[in-house]
Amino acid sequence: MNSDVVTTFSALASPIRLAVVQRLAHGPAVSSQLAQLGPVSRPAMSQHLRVLGAADLVHAVPSGRNVWYQLRPGPLSQIAAWADDVLARSAAAPGLRCHHAEPHESRG
């Protein structure tokens, strides 16, 4: 598995970070807006945003006194491609054959 995909999955393993990504799919937001997604302090949200940034899932855009965060689609596209590959291989792979006991013929 590609190390970038592993990094992305690791970043998305937190429910708060997953919620941030889902929220940012609707457009940019500042950290105070993102902190409202769950029981998380602003410093904790900053840490979550650093993790998402390190995984290249979000991009910080300074604007005046605010920093806006927006979603970067690249890592999610890599996960989608990985999932598509896994599903395609699974669909093409041979399956187990179930050997059920054949019913005995009734003698009658």
Q: Which domains does the chain have, with CATH numbers?
A: 3-88 (1.10.10.10)
pLDDT digits (tens, 9 = 90+) for 52-63: 999 999 999 999
Q: Which long-range contacts (CB under 8 A, 24 or more apart) does 90-99 make?
A: none
Read off the pLDDT band of 107 (50, 70, 90).
low
As a whole number of angstroms, the distance between CA 95 and CA 3 comes to: 29
Read off the pLDDT band of 101 (50, 70, 90).
low
Contact 91, 107 (CB under 8 A): no
Amino acid at 47: Q
* Res 95: pLDDT: 85
Q: Is the predicted pLDDT of residue 105 greater than 90, yes or no?
A: no
* Res 108: pLDDT: 54
Pairing of strands 66-71, 58-63: antiparallel
What is the average pLDDT value for the chain, to the nearest integer? 90
